[in-house]
Amino acid sequence: MKNKSPEKSRNLLQTKAQRWIIKIGSSLLTDDGRGLDREAIRTWVKQIVALRRSGVEVILVSSGSVSAGVQRLGWSQRPANLKERQAAASVGQSALIHTYEKLLREEDIPEEVPVHCGQVLLTHDDLRSRRRYLNARSALLTLLEMNVLPIINENDTVSYNAINLGDNDTLAAVVSNLLDADLLVILTDQDGIFDADPRSNPNAKLLAEVNAGAAMLERVAGSGGSGVGTGGMLAKVRAATRAARSGTSTIIANGRCEDVLLRIRHGEALGTFIHARLPKLDARKRWLAGHLRARGVLHLDAGAVLALKQEGGSLLPVGVTALEGNFHRGDLVLCKDPEGHEFARGLVNWDATVALRCLGKKSRDIADDPDVAEGILIHRDNLLIH
């Protein structure tokens, strides 16, 4: 029997990672939310160019569009109204990309590193479609091949609560899954994850290394944010767990540390390193995990839960006791055990009206129903067990 190969150390993962997703929060790009901080962005451009020179592929997830729009429109504060935020995002996106592009061109850049940036705006609807998901992957990989710096943001101008991704931490994790990234670096205005709230507990200690999915992580992360962006530490922890599904480790570090990206590249132990020690999903299951908006819920009996977990089969209607939601064929639904805990999710083969009349029935009892596809409610290829 072969010995297990030793797990890679943090230092090795940092120095050898070749494809980085870097997420920079609003507080690190703007003047307290009042507009873009050009000099701050210049420092990020310099570090990204240096990373490219060292052979790292960089994909940037950049916040700041709404703040940039607020500045250009002459408003005194970030609007609370959705339509005004969307307008600000539209105006701000052009300002944000123009700033990055101009600063890139000011750098003394050799041919093998990017001299241009490419804007990619995404929504959850773009990623829930398998075809559009693969098209996004192809476009991003092509940009990398052309030595272009992809700059990704949520398409805030057309997003709304039913389809948005929610925050750029989540977006960065989804992009990590999309591109099989080696490392996700989430830069914030905090030093990392602590074992208690450092704002109220002076004895709180920084967690230098933890494993993705560790039970204590969400408990200690809390839900506070800086007030400038939309994601708090809890969103970052959940993003790290999501990224781990593609084998991507995560670093949550303070972006106010001088040359933070280069110091990470050189192996310095900054912030909190979250090891991707979760079972790695195949490409289709990663796409499925990236679905953030469920259209319904299926409640299963204990026998069905056991069969799905242990036997890895498809979900049949005989094990379903109740359903929620007006979902349609191809929609994502959650699967819950008798205690109400979600343990799986998948794409349904039937509309809710069909599923409702087939609840608890065996496949042979519905074989003549023209609306029933092979007697299977969710095929195992479209089912993700947590």
Q: Annotated binding site: which residue ranges? A: 23, 63, 156, 168, 188-189
What is the rounded CA–CA span in Å between residue 81 and residue 68? Answer: 16
Rounded-to-integer distance, Cα 278 and Cα 289, Å: 13
* 19-24/57-62 β-pairing: parallel
Cα-based angle 48, 73, 118 (whole degrees, multiple of 5): 30
Q: Look-up: residue for tokens 């192809």? A: 138
For the beta carbon of residue 97, count every other beta carbon within 10 angstroms: 18
Strand order in the sheet with 296-300: 320-324, 296-300, 332-336, 342-347, 383-385
CA dist., res. 212 & res. 4, Å (int): 20
* Sequence ranges of the binding site for substrate: 63, 156, 168
Annotated binding site for ATP: 23, 188-189
CA–CA distance, 213 with 171 (Å, rounded to integer): 18
Q: Is 144 left (phi over 0), alpha (psi -120 to 50) or beta?
A: alpha
